[in-house]
Amino acid sequence: MIASELSALQAAIARDPDRWRPLVFTNGCFDLLHAGHVRYLAAARALGRSLVVGLNSDRSVAGIKPPAPGFPPRPIVPEDQRAEVLLALKSVDAVTIFDDPTATALITALQPDIYVKGGDYQIDTLPEAPAVVAGGGRIELVSIEVPSSTSGLVQRILAARPLESAP
């Protein structure tokens, strides 16, 4: 389910809480999906009955990840395609796209039971932490099994030698 409007997702959760709760929520750009993302999302989903992913919009990603010299502008993959790929994962139950630099407003609206971020984050520096606690949720940091990043992938692609053409 892609909820283009947050209200549609809220209504689905309210109609059938037994299907959704305990609700796990995470958020991110998920630009070039890689094995680290897949394992992270599977681990997040295992903590509850459903997993909702807050996906940074194209505009939000551009603000969070400003252009770097020699890099293409971010995101590389448009938001609708990133959402479609995320929804193809069996661990993801819904995706909602947001424009803000943080997911605080989504957390306030959805009141997840569990908020998940990668083990490379610190709870005391998460801008969303107060909203999670205020809504009665808890925060879980999931260890990163496959250290990878979209920026790292882009660097490797840009550093690759061009294929030699066949004669």
Structure confidence by residue, pLDDT tens digits, 8-20: 999 999 999 999 9
Nearest to 102 by CA among 137, 75, 128, 120: 128
> Which two tokens mark 135?
């809504």
CA torsion angle 145 104 31 19 (round to 10): 70
Q: For residue 101, give both structure tokens.
A: 């630099």
Q: How many CB atoms lie within 10 A of CB 98?
A: 19
Closest CA to 52 of 74, 100, 19: 19
Alpha helices in 55-125, H assignment, sequence order = 58-64, 79-87, 104-110
State which fold the 16-143 domain adopts.
Answer: Rossmann fold (3.40.50)
What pairs with residue 141 in β-bridges? 117
pTM value? 0.89
pLDDT digits (tens, 9 = 90+) for 40-70: 999 999 999 999 999 999 999 999 988 777 7
User: pLDDT digits over 115-135, tens only?
Assistant: 999 988 999 999 999 999 999
Distance CA 153, CA 148 (A): 8
Work out the mean pLDDT of the chain and round it to a whole number.
89
**What percent of the chain has a predicted confidence (pLDDT) above 70?**
90
DSSP 3-state assignment of 97? strand
| 166 — pLDDT class (breaks 50, 70, 90) | very low
What share of the chain in percent tops pLDDT 90?
A: 71
What mean pLDDT do residues 26-52 have? 95
Quick one: tokens of 146?
A: 């496959």
Domain boundaries, the chain: 16-143
